Amino acid sequence: MADSVNFTNKDRQHKTVFFETFGCQMNKLDAELSLGLLQEEGYRIVDKADEADVILFNTCSVRQHAEDKVYSHLGALKMLKKRHPEVVVGVLGCMAQKDGEAIFKRMPHVDLVCGTRMFSRLPELLLTIKNQGSHVLAIDEDQIVSVKRPVAYRPNFYQAFVTVMRGCDNFCSYCIVPYVRGGEISRTIADVKEEVQSLVSNGCKEVTLLGQNINSYGKGLAGGITLGHLLSELNDLDGLERIRFVTSHPADMSRDLIRTMSRLSKVCEHLHMPAQSGSDRILQEMRRGYTAGYYRDLISYARELIPYIAVASDFIVGFPGEMDEDFQETVRLMEDIRFQNCFIFKYSPRTGTKAAELKDDVVDEVKRARNMKLLELQKSISLEQNRKMIGRKVEVLVEGASKSDSHKLSGRTRQNHIVVFNGPAVLVGRLVNVVIHEVTDLTLYGKPEDCS
């Protein structure tokens, strides 16, 4: 937590902040927590950078493209900063951790570089910049992030993300995350439970537990604690309706955890477990620690115990040395498993990782073609899977107005399908049974049972 800092009333007045986040859900949640801290200090959020006293980017380094985007956004602020030198520009998160001091060299108008384990000190760091007029670098890795969550500031009232562990010890050969997020640190069950309880007391009905490698939750905690134990404890909380967790790693996903999932009524039938490739040779090069056969067996076991479980995956195409035969194995895996949805990425070499020592020898044209092929295949599978839902009754947690049509309501099923339907606003925040009558590859459309 931040060392105690005395904020004067003047510091609290009329401060505005613009915040943009790149990257994964954990980064989005860190942004939410950071904003919560700033709001508690009197900052008001604005949605235009040129109206803000403080402009912050929470950044991602997972692929080159994510970094390029941030540098281009930063470059675009040069003029604004010239006109208004008093405006504070800050870079937070994974790219801040990775590039550190180099960001000031490349973008001298940046005032703050704040790494992945320092954001809880944001109010204090901003005050230092203001008082000392110099830029601040805060990328200490030894910090344990501990933020007393201001629950009132969450973006979705009925659904919240909760970080249960930070960092990753897996070092998949292509991945920058362990370098920018540090080693695995799990929060205690009591700590997580207290946060979930306060969210529930504040109206939240569904939580998604976050960890880069969530199946190894508990490692390092006393008493042989596992994710199963945490799920069991949360399942007992009154008022909480649903629990999800992401992201699962096949090598760390135990059959015991699948049995626990099947037993606990609040744990949703939803598993995001990236396969990354269907080729054993490539999986080995990626240092994933399992084979495609092992992955298939795990999914079969999960489907045996939890028949309606929806499985989602990530895939990387164009990893160094990926031959057409390897890619065909990935296509076969996708065809056989029939995922509910998949994220497909073109391999992007990350300096410092093991795979970056290999030649990035799959040309971009081939990466693009493989990417397209998997996207199209998955789209057809998602549509086919969703068509099976027609005529079925699903339980939807109604989140609010639909983004595509504000006259309609939108929510999610336990399997994480998005459902859009006509209904009165009083249904928001409730669990409603909806009968599905139309689908696309991304959305289910239906009619609420009690309003028909």
| Interface positions with ligand SF4 (CB under 6 A) | 168, 170-172, 175, 177-178, 212-213, 249
Out of 119, 174, 217, 290, the only residue in the binding site for ligand SAH (CB under 6 A) is 174
In the complex with ligand F3S, the residue whose CB is nearer, 93 or 411, is: 93
Q: Which does 345 bind (CB under 5 to 8 A by kind): ligand SAH, ligand SF4, ligand F3S, none?
A: ligand SAH
Contacts of 395 (CB under 8 A, 6+ apart): 413, 414, 431, 432, 433, 434
Q: Which residues bind ligand F3S (CB under 6 A)?
A: 23-24, 26-27, 60-62, 93-94, 176-177, 180-181
CB of 247 to ligand SF4, least distance (A): 7
As a whole number of angstroms, the distance between CA 50 and CA 338 comes to 46
Tokens standing for residue 136: 């601040």
Site for ligand SAH in 251-280 (CB under 6 A): 274, 276
CB of 177 to ligand SF4, least distance (A): 4
Contacts of 74 (CB under 8 A, 6+ apart): 57, 89, 91, 107, 109, 110
Task: Verify binding: residue 58, ligand SAH, rule CB under 6 A.
Answer: no
Q: Which does 178 bind (CB under 5 to 8 A by kind): ligand SF4, ligand F3S, ligand SAH, none?
A: ligand SF4
As a whole number of angstroms, the distance between CA 236 and CA 312 comes to 27
Contacts of 153 (CB under 8 A, 6+ apart): 32, 35, 36, 39, 40
In the complex with ligand SAH, the residue whose CB is nearer, 292 or 316, is: 316
CB of 167 to ligand SAH, least distance (A): 10
At residue 446's C-alpha, the angle toward residues 443 and 450, to 5°, is 145
In the complex with ligand SF4, the residue whose CB is nearer, 121 or 249, is: 249
In the complex with ligand SF4, the residue whose CB is nearer, 301 or 343, is: 343
Site for ligand SAH in 226-255 (CB under 6 A): 247, 249
CB of 173 to ligand SAH, least distance (A): 9
> How distant is the alpha carbon of residue 44 from its chain centre?
25
**Nearest Cα to Cα of residue 248 among 222, 267, 235:** 267
Out of 62, 251, 261, 275, the only residue in the binding site for ligand SAH (CB under 6 A) is 62
CB of 216 to ligand SF4, least distance (A): 9
In the complex with ligand SF4, the residue whose CB is nearer, 177 or 306, is: 177
Task: Verify binding: residue 135, ligand SAH, rule CB under 6 A.
Answer: no
Tokens standing for residue 81: 């900063």
Q: Which does 314 bind (CB under 5 to 8 A by kind): ligand F3S, ligand SF4, ligand SAH, none?
A: ligand SAH
In the complex with ligand SF4, the residue whose CB is nearer, 167 or 446, is: 167
Q: Which does 161 bind (CB under 5 to 8 A by kind): ligand SF4, ligand SAH, ligand F3S, none?
A: none
Length of the chain: 452
Q: Which does 120 bind (CB under 5 to 8 A by kind): ligand F3S, ligand SAH, ligand SF4, none?
A: none
Residue 220, sorted as left (phi over 0), alpha (psi -120 to 50) or beta, turns out to be: left
> Interface residues with ligand SAH (CB under 6 A)?
62-63, 174-175, 177, 212-213, 247, 249, 274, 276, 314, 316, 345, 347-348, 350
